[in-house]
Amino acid sequence: MDTVVRRGPWAFAERMLVLQRWTPLMDMAMLNFIPFWVQIRGIPFQYMNREVIVHIARIMGQYIQMDYNEETGSRLEFVRVRLNWNVNHPLRFQRHFQFTPGVNTLLKFQYERLRGFCESCGMITHDSGACLLVNGGPEDGGGNDDDSDDDAPEQGGNPNHGVIIEEINEEEGQEEEAAEVQGQAEQERSREAT
């Protein structure tokens, strides 16, 4: 079983699977995470070191480990990090990162063994056909047969524009993460109240 979990992530019918070893004291919140190996491309050579790589990985998600050898790092196109990705957050395929204040560097991320995700919002919990962003929200059953395309999203260009591309610096990233955690806590409280 350890080999199966370690060699993941796994998919069935083009859908990602969450695998977690069962224990009597199992934390159900861990069923929201899938470990991915992520290739990070675009780190400037002069910043290519373990400390910077771990810092980038921790900004992306829950850092597990890295596959990087400093002796051969200068010859690599990318570095690999293993992250525990929360399935309730959209995947990020690129992100601006500031190695020097005021200078944005675009980093690109490739998720190894990724299958079946929404190309519109980046979520792995559904595909584009079931995306609320593309389809205008949940069905209300109100009988509105309006087939006009007035409110249809623009086609073409980057389907992830504005969803997974972010500009950050260290302070902004920490503020965003704190606001996100606070927002999630408020959502949980409102769900429990209903």
β partners of residue 111: 38
Quick: pLDDT tens for 136-178: 765 544 444 444 444 433 434 433 333 333 334 444 454 555 5
- For tokens 């009988």, the residue is 143
Domain that holds residue 59: 2-22+29-137+158-169
Tens of pLDDT, residues 19-38: 666 677 776 666 778 888 99
Distance in angstroms (rounded) separating the CA atoms of residues 6 and 19: 10
For residue 22, give the amino acid letter. W
Q: Which pLDDT score is estimated for 7?
A: 58
**pLDDT at residue number 16:** 61
- Global pTM reads 0.61
Query: With contact defined as beta carbons under 8 Å apart, do 105 and 99 qualify?
Result: yes
If one compares 170 and 105, the residue with the highest pLDDT of the two is: 105
| Count of the separate structural domains present in the chain | 1
DSSP sequence for 19-56:
-----TT--GGGGGEEEEEEEEE---GGG-SHHHHHHH
Question: In this structure, is residue 177 part of a structural domain?
Answer: no
Is 147 a domain residue? Answer: no
Number of helices (H), then strands (E), in the chain? 4, 7
Residues 56 and 36: their CA atoms lie apart, in Å, by: 15
Residue 33 lies in a domain: yes
Is 163 domain-assigned?
A: yes
In a domain, 188, yes or no: no
152 within some domain? no
Is residue 186 in some structural domain?
Answer: no
